[in-house]
Amino acid sequence: MPFYKDATGRGIELPSAYQLANALLDSAFGKSIQAMEADLTGEVVTVVTDGWTDINGLAVVNYVVAAGMKTYFLESDYTDSQSHDTEFLVRDARRVISKYKFLNVGAIVTENTAANKAML
């Protein structure tokens, strides 16, 4: 018998990989968004972006929102071969801000590259 079944008891049914990757993950994500919305209601927030390359050489842009001492991760956007030019960065920042309609965005903080400076 696998150790986890012995540790949890025979009467407990563990979720399948499919359940974890779909319904349960969607439910947990929804709850985290609801908690973030409740916590940030009435707050003016700053969206922080950071572009980098992961350990596999893939380009990614991270989005975080900050309000006072509160910080929340919003999402990572793998951009494939898309150039991180000003037009792309503006479009992607607008996409993220419009996705989280409950955010009252007062500022955006970016990296110190020419494309990032030009988007502001």
For 38, list phi and psi in degrees, rounded to 5: -65, -40
Same domain, 117 and 72: yes
Confirm if 49 and 110 have CB atoms less than 8 A apart.
Answer: yes
pLDDT digits (tens, 9 = 90+) for 42-93: 999 999 999 888 899 888 999 999 999 999 999 998 987 667 778 888 899 9
| Per-residue pLDDT at 119 | 67
Same domain, 59 and 1: no
Residues 29 and 91: their CA atoms lie apart, in Å, by 24
Q: Which amino acid is at 6?
A: D
pLDDT digits (tens, 9 = 90+) for 18-29: 999 999 999 999
**How many distinct structural domains can be found in the chain?**
2
The domain of 20 spans: 1-40
CATH number at residue 89: 3.30.420
**Residue 41 pLDDT > 60:** yes
Confidence grade of residue 117 (pLDDT, cut at 50, 70, 90): low
